[in-house]
Structure 1
Amino acid sequence: MPNIDGLEFLEAVQQNFDEMPFILLTGAGNESVASKAISQGVSDYISKQQAQEQFPTLVNRITRAVEASELRQEVREKRKLYRTLVEQTDEGICITHDDEIVFVNSQFSSLTGHNQSTLAGAEITAVFGLTGASIERPTACSSVSRQVSEATVKLPDEAGNAQTYQISAKRLQIAGQSVVVWSFRGMTASNRRREQLQRERDLSQAVVDILARSSTHQSVEHSFCTEVIEHHGFQLAWVGEIQQDGQLGIQTSESADGTEAYLDCIEPLLADERQGTAPPSMWALRSDEPQFLDDLSQLPETSWQAAALEEGLRSVAAVPLINHGIAYGVFCVCTTEPATLDAEAKQLLEKLADALADAIADKKRAAALTSRQITEVSFRVGCDQFYLNDIVRGDAEDSYETIVVESVVQSADSVTEFLRVDGPDPERLTGQIAAHETVESVTVEDNCAATHLEVEVAGRTLGGMLQELGVRLEQIIVENDAAEATVQMPVERDQEAVLDRLGQQYDIESMTALTNKTVQPHTTSPQPLETADLTEKQRQALETALEAGYFDQPRGNSANEIAEMLGVSHSTLLQHLRTAQRKIFTKMADQTRH
């Protein structure tokens, strides 16, 4: 080449084709030329003296140079495509190696409010409280320092304000090194609603599962504590129950990290009812209102607060457990991070407390029906307090008619009461019952010596309320001046609380008996239940309802759905079921008495 050497030609080519592979074939075969050529970016170097003897080698080197150039071009194009996708995605992308941030896209910076330049080289744990190790042991947690593989979290922006994100993380091997790729997505209102609905569905299913596998109220309480520790990010959960002496006692607890020592410190303080010094559990119990304390370090110093801070606890929530007006205790949770009890967390805890109170009440009602140590109580209710008093009182003063409520079945919106009518003209009294404004239907039982009625009443009745309160109804005798109820309660039941709750709704005129009894267990084997007196339609309705889960909680099928299966009306199905239940309950009661 006249007036130009190989290196000068390389420089001219690179001005327009900087990625083109270039092999320098030169007669000046010395190390100085070779070094300069390589520094200018030649793909390979070979001397002319060797070339004539090494044509196969030259062809091989040309082939390798072209292949290497094509590979580099493919890598460049893929890298360009990757960066285009990463920069154009709506998601914030962050890559960490050993928890050090090595790359963030511009969307990550916009989404989190952190500048890209300040994030490069920073520890993700220091900035966001996240750690690469966390994706190997994922936990749903409501605090800033959390362990996630895929979750909805609150993290601080550059100004320190908490923002909500959906985060997923995946560990990858790149060039022999382990990195974690984090994907951040901002939470829109619709996303938040979907997340909330999903959490509510998960919570409902968890509650159903707990109730299905728990046989006592103690096991229910333990399962609820475990639920909030394992799935809702709290570090300590406990249930306090009101004891027979009216004081609050710690019934069960669960801890994620050994913070239960706090309970040892506060248990002696649970009798303290002073608003300024009592623990939050006592505030909730005495006010019947939830107590949410988001940062204990900001409160005036007290014994319980010092004990909590010493164990590393920063937030406390206490929600009273109340069912049908009766307080059973309090449900408490704690976290090791402040500012974790937002509106969402408060709503979750209140729903859990409602479900827990219902479950405790149900289990205690079941225990009341099987308890051997009982207290039998009789009391009189004023004549204007009960719908059946209206009917008996409306008769002539010289009549000697009495209505006896023998049993009650409570449903969501009505009460079915099974009555016996005594008097000279039971048909007239039956008509008066049917005509009462609160009565929806009356069915006269067949094959009974006395007049027995199945009465469906809208709203609340005395018998229905007694069942709600978890006491066993012996009978209610209704005469023209009052109704006298006889009930049985297990001795461990808070009888004063039950009677106080009744007194809020009904005017209890007098307590005529208060007797402790021991119910003797059966010494003979129970007789098989006879169902021969059920009609074919009653038996079919009962068997179908059982198979379809009508009596389960929650119901597997509604009454309307079962009626459709049988090809009958809704009211006809309910009549068959109630009559069958009445006959079976009567037979069971007869077997118990004999």
Structure 2
Amino acid sequence: MVSELEADYRVVQGEAATRLLYVDADEETMATVARYVEGEYSDVELVGTTDAGAAVDTLRSAGWGCLVVGGDLPAADRSALVEAASCPIVSFTRAGRDADTDPVVAAATMVLEKGTDERILAMLVDKARQFAGAGPDGDDESLARTLTRLGDADEDIACFVVDDGDLAWASRPFETTFPVAAADVPDGDFDDRLAAVFGDVPDPGTSLVTVETDDAGSASAGSDDEGPVLRYYRYASHRIPDERRLDVFEDVTDRVERETRSGLYELLVEQARDGLYVFDADGVVVFTNEAFASMLGYDPEDLIGKHAAEIFAEGELHAAQRDIKNVVDSEDTGGAGDRTFLDCHGDPVPVSVNYTVLAGDETDFDGFVCVARDVTERRKRERELAERRDELARINRADALVQNVVRELGQVSSRDELEQAVCECFLEVDGVTLAWVGNREGASDRIVPGTVVGEPRQYLHDLLASASVDGATGGPAMRAVRTGDVKLAADLRDGDREDVWRSLALSHDLYSLATIPLIHGETVHGVLAVYGDRPEAFGDALTDRFHLLGDTIGFAMTAVQNRRLLEEDVTVELEFRADSDEARLVWLAQACDCRLEIVGSVDLGEDVLQYLAVDGASVEAVADAAVESDAVTGARVIRAEGSDAGVVELRTPWSLRSALSEVGARLEAAVITPASTRIVVEAPSDADVRAIHEAVRRSNPGATLVTKTEGDRSRLDGREGIGVTESLTDRQQEVLQAAYLAGYYAWPRDTTAEELAESLGIASPTLHQHLRRAERNILDALFGE
């Protein structure tokens, strides 16, 4: 009847003493068992089938020595096999099945964990033969032979037969298997000795770690390094009393360590923050961890199989191949460098790569392993640092220009020298090729270049000769003069090419232009034009300093003019007259029907103290009328000379004397009547009359130049006073001048120290301190050596 079963595997070894029926859905394991039986046993007939239904019919109609049931069969088939079997059953199953859930396990004479290594297969066949009655007869001697064979199959396995708690037989000494002090428990049964080693009797099927004990035998906690890792199995013995059992301990230390290392390596690779990938010899990605795949926006499985050409930016593949060839030719093991990859969207990703060449069995190169780190943020920081360094360099160059200009300004003695020095300083700036200083020509709105430094000068000749010269020279230069603001054309190509000045500049390879008004106070002395031979020639740092440079140069021009005014023997006297009611202080002369003359002023910074000589009205009435005006913030009487004359002090936010000083001129006289204003100004012979006229008209609308007279200044009086005043600080001169004009030195005094201090906005002790120091400096200048 056995032959009627259509088996998947059938092994018949001569006159078989044992017939085994093996039913399993796992055909691969079944084939392994069949090959093992065929090679190791000559007295076993094995019939293997995956058809559980046919096996049930065969079990009912024919006798078998033992039924082996695999663990992968459906529950219904397993139940049917148990009901049909009249022979011992071996459950050949994987871990996880127990008697409560599996009828085969509940009915089995032995439950063996499924496996295909030799020790498992030996135990399976030997136990099945034993249960079938054809193997060892179950006495201690035959059992020992079987177990010894099992133990010899693997030196890491130790078998122990335990009879009612006592050790009946062992494949190797207990002390060899458990080399710890606790194994020496005298007269203890097997379970007592196990408890001494492990702290308690372990549960079968677990992985254990031995525990070291002290000399007294007391257990203490151990670690993985203090003993081997053992796997504990327990089996019931067939054909021997129920109180006997088979305990098997397998040393799995090496396996656990390998698995631990493998798991650790896998964890390290997958959890590494750096990207890891492997190219084969053809440049195909054969491995990548999550970090590298995420770096490029891929899932690992999508990146594997891509060629380097697909993920390298243009030119990078050739560079990588060259580096690899150099490494292989030099017999180095690897190298490092930066590469640019493309992410899944085709965007560049800068990566720092360290690579190790994989040497092949027959070739020098079998691929390479790479560690990659995204350096996008690093590159960004490097760019930012480079930009900051460049900006700092530009700032330093701009500051150097300012310092050079200031240094040169302190050494010049005339306006021509000043303009030449300024233009030469600008020519030292990288990219600047042409610089010139211009002024308005007469009463027209045309800027005429004066001092010119650099090339191409032909550009200026062409500009002045152009048919629309007024429009050309009245372009950015005139706008800078009119508005007082710097005008910057960073790229002359961006703009209306119909502008003559622009088209001419481009034709001479001039691509950027800055026009800087030269200003001091409210006076524009001229304009500085600077050209670059490329767009964006000046940079933000220099552009930010153009206003400072314009103010500095304008101040220097004022200082040069004032110095020349003091030093020149030949001067011009300019007389202006204004008949308009809008002329400054005319309203006060009209209100009081008197004559006013400015006899002095002191500039305090935000305010100016002006001293007016009054003729034809009460000084008290003039002071009272003055404070009624929004243009006057304070007034007091300095001196009354009868009922209709004296001196009044006004505090105002403006001063004609200060305005004229900005253009290098000096107020000689200013007389205001109800009908008109007469102003006399002294200036150097080469003074900018137009600038002086504009300074007068700002405070006296409608003023006209009446006369211009050259004169020879006397060398007496004033000349000797120049050296005296030079010994004073600005503040000392300011306080001393205010004291003199306010009548502090008159006898009797027209103003007290307290009144003078209040006018100057300082404390009385501070006033006396300034006066004493000023007086001492003057005396030192006069009488000192």
Normalising by the residue count of structure 1, what TM-score does the alignment of the two structures yield? 0.49
> Which protein is bigger by CA-based radius of gyration?
2
When normalised by structure 2's length, the TM-score is: 0.39
Higher relative contact order (CA 8 A, sep 6+): 1
